[in-house]
Structure 1
Amino acid sequence: HSCTSGSGSGLPFLVQRTVARQITLNECVGKGRYGEVWRGQWQGESVAVKIFSSRDEKSWFRETEIYNTVLLRHENILGFIASDMTSRNSSTQLWLITHFHEMGSLYDYLQLSTLDASSCLRMALSIASGLAHLHVEIFGTQGKPAISHRDLKSKNILVQKNGQCCIADLGLAVMHFQDTNELDVGNNPKVGTKRYMAPEVLDDSIQMDCFESFKRVDIWALGLVLWELARRTVSNGQCTFHTT
Structure 2
Amino acid sequence: MRLIGSRFKTNKRKYFFTQRTVNLWNSLPEDVLKAKTIRGCVFYETPHNLQGSMRHQGRLLAGAEHGTILCHSSHCCFGIWNQSHGRLQAVMQGCWGSDRDGCDSPACKTSPVHTAGVIFQRCLCRSDFCNANVSQLGAPAAPQGEVSPGNGGPRVGLAGGCRSELRGTGRAGGWRCCPCLPPVPGQPGGRSECHPSCLCPPQVLQDGRFSVVWQGTLHQTPVAIKAFPDACSQHFAAEWSVHSLPLMNHDNVARLLAAGRGGVRGEQGSLLVLQLYPAGSLRHFLSQHVSTWDTTIRLALSLARGLAFLHEELWHNGLHKPSVAHRDLSSQNVLVREDQSCAISDFGLATALPACLEQWGGGRMEAGTQRYMAPEILDDSLDLQVWGRALKQADIYSLALVLWEILSRCSGLSPDCGVPPFQLAYEAELGSSPTYGELRRLAVEERRRPAIPDSWRGTGQLLEDCWDPDPEARLTAECARQRLQSLGADPNPFVSEQPQGCSNLPSAPRGAQPSCGHTSPTQIFQPHTDGWVCSP
TM-score (norm 1): 0.88
Structure 2 counterparts to residues 213-232 of structure 1, below 5 A: 213-232=390-409
What is the distance in 2 between the residues matched to 1:184 and 1:160? Answer: 37
Please say if residues 216 and 225 of structure 2, whose CA atoms lie closer than 8 Å, have aligned partners that are also in contact. yes
Count of aligned pairs between the two proteins: 242
CA deviation map 1:42-100 (0-9, x unaligned): 11101110111332211101111121233210000000111111145554211111100
Distance 1:172 1:120, change over 3 A: same
Counterpart check, 1:59 vs 2:247: no
Taking only aligned residues, the RMSD between alpha carbons, in angstroms, comes to 2.8
Counterpart check, 1:121 vs 2:297: yes
Please say if residues 277 and 335 of structure 2, whose CA atoms lie closer than 8 Å, have aligned partners that are also in contact. yes
Aligned mate of 2:340, from 163, 180, 189? 163
What is the distance in 2 between the residues matched to 1:93 and 1:106? Answer: 27
Counterpart check, 1:85 vs 2:142: no
What is the distance in 2 between the residues matched to 1:93 and 1:114? Answer: 38
Range that drifts further, 2-11 or 209-218: 2-11
Structure 1 residue 139: Cα displacement:
2.1
Q: What is the aligned partner in structure 1 of residue 286 from structure 2? A: 110
Please say if residues 8 and 67 of structure 1, whose CA atoms lie closer than 8 Å, have aligned partners that are also in contact. no
What is the distance in 1 between the residues matched to 2:216 and 2:358? Answer: 38
Q: What is the aligned partner in structure 2 of residue 233 from structure 1? A: 410
Q: What is the aligned partner in structure 1 of residue 146 from structure 2? A: none
Distance 1:171 1:183, change over 3 A: farther
Residue identity opposite 1:126 in structure 2: S
Distance 1:4 1:36, change over 3 A: farther
Q: What is the aligned partner in structure 1 of residue 218 from structure 2? A: 42
For the residue of structure 1 that corresponds to 2:280, the secondary structure is coil
What is the distance in 2 between the residues matched to 1:31 and 1:150? Answer: 21
Structure 2 counterparts to residues 25-36 of structure 1, below 5 A: 25-36=201-212
Specify the structure having the higher radius of gyration (Cα). 2
Using CA pairs under 8 Å that are at least 6 residues apart, name the structure with larger relative contact order, 1 or 2. Answer: 1
For the residue of structure 2 that corresponds to 1:143, the secondary structure is strand
What is the distance in 2 between the residues matched to 1:115 and 1:215? Answer: 29
Residue identity opposite 1:239 in structure 2: V
Structure 1 residue 101: Cα displacement:
0.6
Q: What is the aligned partner in structure 2 of residue 152 from structure 1? A: 329
Q: What is the aligned partner in structure 2 of residue 142 from structure 1? A: 319
Q: Give unmatched runs, 5+ long, in structure 1.
A: none
TM-score (norm 2): 0.42
Residue identity opposite 1:206 in structure 2: L
Distance 1:39 1:188, change over 3 A: farther
Q: What is the aligned partner in structure 2 of residue 131 from structure 1? A: 307
What is the distance in 2 between the residues matched to 1:184 and 1:71? Answer: 26
Counterpart check, 1:12 vs 2:69: yes
What is the distance in 2 between the residues matched to 1:52 and 1:8? Answer: 23
Counterpart check, 1:199 vs 2:375: yes
**1 or 2, which has the higher helix percentage?**
1
Aligned mate of 2:351, from 174, 178, 188? 174
Distance 1:145 1:4, change over 3 A: farther
CA deviation map 1:108-148 (0-9, x unaligned): 11111111111111100000000000001012423300111
For the residue of structure 1 that corresponds to 2:315, the secondary structure is coil
Structure 1 residue 190: Cα displacement:
4.3
What is the distance in 1 between the residues matched to 2:280 and 2:253? Answer: 14
Distance 1:7 1:43, change over 3 A: closer
Range that drifts further, 65-74 or 154-163: 65-74
For the residue of structure 2 that corresponds to 1:12, the secondary structure is strand
For the residue of structure 2 that corresponds to 1:52, the secondary structure is strand
Distance 1:31 1:89, change over 3 A: closer
What is the distance in 1 between the residues matched to 2:247 and 2:205? Answer: 28
Please say if residues 247 and 314 of structure 2, whose CA atoms lie closer than 8 Å, have aligned partners that are also in contact. no
Residue identity opposite 2:419 in structure 1: C
Q: What is the aligned partner in structure 1 of residue 84 from structure 2? A: none
What is the distance in 2 between the residues matched to 1:7 and 1:231? Answer: 41
Counterpart check, 1:101 vs 2:277: yes
Report percent identity of matched pairs: 29
Aligned mate of 1:23, from 199, 203, 219? 199
Please say if residues 61 and 69 of structure 2, whose CA atoms lie closer than 8 Å, have aligned partners that are also in contact. no
Please say if residues 8 and 70 of structure 1, whose CA atoms lie closer than 8 Å, have aligned partners that are also in contact. no
Please say if residues 328 and 349 of structure 2, whose CA atoms lie closer than 8 Å, have aligned partners that are also in contact. yes
Please say if residues 61 and 258 of structure 2, whose CA atoms lie closer than 8 Å, have aligned partners that are also in contact. no
